[in-house]
């Protein structure tokens, strides 16, 4: 099943373009599931009808659902949350304790488990996902690395210690301080779920991200950063969708200066992204309903199939050059001063601005240091000893 993730800065029109992408793909004969994992659900506004936590047909060949984040968190996190809450409530306010238990990135990631469930149905060709804004999406991408480190380096040790210490604490009435087997089992389920979702995200043959932006400097700058971070975490981006461009009749008079700024930003976007740049014009009225969404899809995608892979590329590549092994990571719009590279055990640590990616190295590279690292044409090249 093809998976298309649409994300962007809040307010750029991401939900409308996700809905248009779904309707446009259905018009090409695909069976489409449209999924919203954005906590601020607004798919119903785009289709001018209620959409909730249960799948509902919103157009021919299009079924939509707004994922209930609270339900997903409860399914994935309830046993762990209950144990942590018991510990925290003894020394803090109950409401504060619940706020502390919201792990950054977890909500977005467990919401994407719904993609796996849609695929298991075997009834759909395409799943279009209206993701949370880019900040939340990037937190989601960081979470699996942190969880993997915990599970691989601390989990088994903590489980063995808990089994030995629990009987001792029972005798003094402090059993609650040590997690029970059900908590460890919940951690294992969460880890498997997170890993399943990550495998979907990293499968460039079926999963693509599409960044939605506006032709305004502050939005363009965030889109550049988001594109680099998606590459760093191995998620393939196949298009950038520029929304709400001034139509030709509005580019003169009072809006002439806005039109000039748009032209400058579009030129910057074309220079910054090695993927197709698709344009969506500003409409004279609010976009609502299936017909309006289909018309928007026609303007944005033209002769392209919205469900197709619009640009093929793998953000991370490992290859042999002469006698050396070279890891290449696409990092457009990043300067060499913003990058730090180091090897830690069997992992390569790549720090870009405020993002850290832990890349598991194959056994053939375990224990080898970094011989050289360089940034050439938006590609980080790491050569191993």
208-226 pLDDT, tens digit each: 999 999 999 889 988 988 8
Mean pLDDT, the chain, whole residue set: 82
Partners of 214 in beta bridges:
243
Mean of pLDDT values over 188-203: 81
The pLDDT value given to residue 81? 62
The CATH architecture of the domain made up of 316-384 is Sandwich (2.60)
pTM for the full predicted model: 0.81
Encoded tokens for 346: 């069997």
User: Options 3.40.50.300, 3.20.20.70, 3.90.1150.10, 1.10.287.110; which CATH number does 2-69+109-136+200-301 get?
Assistant: 3.40.50.300
Say what angle helices 69-89 and 113-121 make with each other, to 10 degrees: 140
H helix and E strand count, the chain: 12, 15
Question: Where is average pLDDT lowest: 6-20, 149-163, 296-310, 331-345?
Answer: 149-163
Confidence of residue 189 (pLDDT cuts 50, 70, 90): confident
With 70 as the cut, is the pLDDT of residue 139 above it? Answer: yes
Q: Which DSSP helix (H) or strand (E) runs through 215?
A: none
Which whole-number Å values give the CA distances from 311 to 21, 216, 274, 357, in the listed order? 16, 24, 9, 24
The pLDDT value given to residue 29? 97
- 336, burial (CB in 10 Å: exposed 0-12, middle 13-18, buried 19+): exposed
Give the residue with greater pLDDT, 133 vs 81: 133
With 50 as the cut, is the pLDDT of residue 173 above it? Answer: no
Cα angle value 205/279/271 (rounded, 5°)? 75
Q: Over the stretch 70-108, which tens digit does the pLDDT of each residue have?
A: 666 566 556 666 666 665 555 555 555 455 455 555 666
Mean of pLDDT values over 9-14: 92
CA-closest candidate to residue 266, choices 49, 209, 258:
258
Mean of pLDDT values over 375-380: 90
Residue 363 gets which letter from DSSP? G
- Give the whole-number percent of the chain exceeding pLDDT 90: 38
CA-closest candidate to residue 367, choices 383, 344, 349:
344
Mean of pLDDT values over 156-179: 49
Mean of pLDDT values over 120-134: 92
Give the phi and the psi of residue 278 in degrees, each rounded to 5: -105, 145
Mean of pLDDT values over 311-321: 86
Mean of pLDDT values over 246-259: 88
Give the residue with greater pLDDT, 48 vs 154: 48
The pLDDT value given to residue 192? 79
Which whole-number Å values give the CA distances from 124 to 201, 202, 207, in the listed order? 18, 20, 14
CA-closest candidate to residue 329, choices 239, 238, 230:
230
3-state secondary structure of 64: strand
CA-closest candidate to residue 118, choices 48, 188, 36:
36
The pLDDT value given to residue 102? 55
Encoded tokens for 179: 């997690």
Chain-centroid distance, C-alpha 59:
26
With 70 as the cut, is the pLDDT of residue 315 above it? Answer: yes
Give the residue with greater pLDDT, 167 vs 303: 303
Mean of pLDDT values over 189-202: 81
Domain ranges of the chain: 2-69+109-136+200-301, 71-103+142-196, 316-384
With 50 as the cut, is the pLDDT of residue 61 above it? Answer: yes
Which whole-number Å values give the CA distances from 198 to 34, 49, 146, 150, 154, in the listed order? 19, 32, 13, 16, 21
With 80 as the cut, is the pLDDT of residue 356 above it? Answer: yes
CA-closest candidate to residue 235, choices 149, 114, 134:
134
- Give the whole-number percent of the chain exceeding pLDDT 70: 79
């Amino acid at each position: 099943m093809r998976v298309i993730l649409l994300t962007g800065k809040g307010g750029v029109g991401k939900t409308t373009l996700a809905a248009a992408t779904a309707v446009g793909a259905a018009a090409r004969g695909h069976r489409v599931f449209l999924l919203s994992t954005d906590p601020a659900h607004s798919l119903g506004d785009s289709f001018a009808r209620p959409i909730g936590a249960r799948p509902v047909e919103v157009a021919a060949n299009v079924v939509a659902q707004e994922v209930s984040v609270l339900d997903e968190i409860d399914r994935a996190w309830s046993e762990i949350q209950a144990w942590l809450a018991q510990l925290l409530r003894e020394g803090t306010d109950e409401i504060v304790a619940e706020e502390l238990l919201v792990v950054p990135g977890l909500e977005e990631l467990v919401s994407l488990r719904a993609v796996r469930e849609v695929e298991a149905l075997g009834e759909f060709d395409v799943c279009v996902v209206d993701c949370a804004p880019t900040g939340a999406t990037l937190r989601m991408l960081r979470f699996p690395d942190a969880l993997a480190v915990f599970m691989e380096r601390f989990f088994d040790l903590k489980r063995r210690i808990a089994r030995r210490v629990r009987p001792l604490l029972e005798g003094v009435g402090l059993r609650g301080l040590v997690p029970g087997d059900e908590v460890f089992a919940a951690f294992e389920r969460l880890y498997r779920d997170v890993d399943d979702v990550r495998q979907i995200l990293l499968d460039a043959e079926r999963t693509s991200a599409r960044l939605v932006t506006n032709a305004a400097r502050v939005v363009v700058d965030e889109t550049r950063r988001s594109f680099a971070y998606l590459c760093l975490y191995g998620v393939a981006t196949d298009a950038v969708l520029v929304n709400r461009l001034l139509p030709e009749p509005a580019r003169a008079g009072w809006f002439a200066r806005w039109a000039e700024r748009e032209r400058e930003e579009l030129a910057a976007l074309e220079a910054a992204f090695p993927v197709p740049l698709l344009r969506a014009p500003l409409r004279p009225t609010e976009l609502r309903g299936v017909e309006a969404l289909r018309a928007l899809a026609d303007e944005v995608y033209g002769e392209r199939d919205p469900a197709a892979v619009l640009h093929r590329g793998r953000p991370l590549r490992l290859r042999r050059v002469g006698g050396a092994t070279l890891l290449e990571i696409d990092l457009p719009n990043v300067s060499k001063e913003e990058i730090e590279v180091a090897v830690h055990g069997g992992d390569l640590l790549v720090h870009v601005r405020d993002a850290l990616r832990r890349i598991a190295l194959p056994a053939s590279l375990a224990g080898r240091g970094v011989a050289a690292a360089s940034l050439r044409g938006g590609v980080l090249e790491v050569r191993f000893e």
